Amino acid sequence: MDEVALARRVKFAKTWNINPLVAEIVEILMVYGGSAHRNLVAERIAMRRTSEQISDGLKRQIFEAFDTHCEGAAKANQPALLYLPFGEGSHRWSLTPEAQSFLEQGPSFLTALSR
């Protein structure tokens, strides 16, 4: 991963106060138009990091980061970046409309959310 991509990911994670792994998930989903199967997302993250196939440990960390983000946002009554578009039990991950709006509109969207 180059320094520019790393800096962008860190800034994004700090802006939303999220796990940097969630920021990676968001980036991969953007590449795939906002939605993809969780295994594809995990494999792409592994390829970006190591250019090798994904380990079971990293796959588990990615899945846990997704679940923790979604559960934490719901408990805190805050907008989530990610969700399961086909409901519980689905393995398809998507960006929420709020996340897509943020990524398209930039920081002004965050100001509107905090009001």
CB 82 within 8 A of CB 26: yes
CB 110 within 8 A of CB 15: yes
pTM of the model: 0.76
CB 55 within 8 A of CB 45: no
pLDDT, tens digit only, all 115 positions of the chain: 556 655 665 565 566 567 889 989 999 999 999 999 999 999 999 999 888 889 999 999 999 999 999 998 778 877 788 999 999 999 999 999 888 777 777 554 444 444 4
Spell out the residues 6+ positions from residue 73 whose beta carbon is closer than 8 angstroms to its own. 79, 80, 81
For each of the domains in the chain, give its residue range(s) and CATH number, in order of start: 3-113 (1.10.10)
Provide the residue type at 58 as one letter.
L
* β-sheet with 82-83: strand ranges across: 35-37, 92-95, 82-83
- At 87, give phi and psi (nearest 5°): 85, 180
